[in-house]
């Protein structure tokens, strides 16, 4: 597991500690659960798509946009 240090406002920290105490969790667990709720794991398929996009060239994107425009024109 990786450790990340995050600075939050004092009021937010107090809220986190109060919520954690009320729920019987540690502040770390409460924050981890909140992060998972907002950033769910990425599926293998979606990760592969991101990797393909990262490796695509400008020319690849141009070809894709040109093809997409052609499909849109044909649908009209």
Provide the CA 67 distance to its chain's centre, in angstroms: 29
pLDDT digits (tens, 9 = 90+) for 34-62: 999 999 889 999 999 989 888 888 888 88
Are 16 and 27 spatial neighbours (Cβ–Cβ below 8 Å)? yes
Distance CA(38)–CA(70), nearest Å, equals 37
Tell whether the model's pLDDT for residue 69 goes beyond 80: no
Helical H runs in 1-76? 10-23, 27-38, 44-55, 58-75
Pick 8 or 52 by higher pLDDT.
Answer: 8
Domain ranges of the chain: 10-40, 44-75
* Amino acid 58: pLDDT: 87
Tell whether the model's pLDDT for residue 75 goes beyond 80: no
Are 16 and 31 spatial neighbours (Cβ–Cβ below 8 Å)? yes
Tell whether the model's pLDDT for residue 74 goes beyond 70: no
Average pLDDT over every residue of 23-41:
95
């Amino acid at each position: 597991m990786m450790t990340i240090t995050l600075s939050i406002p004092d009021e937010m920290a107090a809220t986190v500690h109060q919520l954690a105490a009320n729920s019987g969790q540690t502040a770390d667990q409460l924050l981890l659960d909140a992060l998972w709720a907002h950033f769910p794991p990425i599926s293998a398929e979606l990760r592969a798509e991101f990797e393909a996009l990262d490796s695509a060239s400008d020319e690849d994107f141009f070809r894709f946009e040109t093809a997409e425009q052609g499909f849109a024109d044909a649908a009209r």
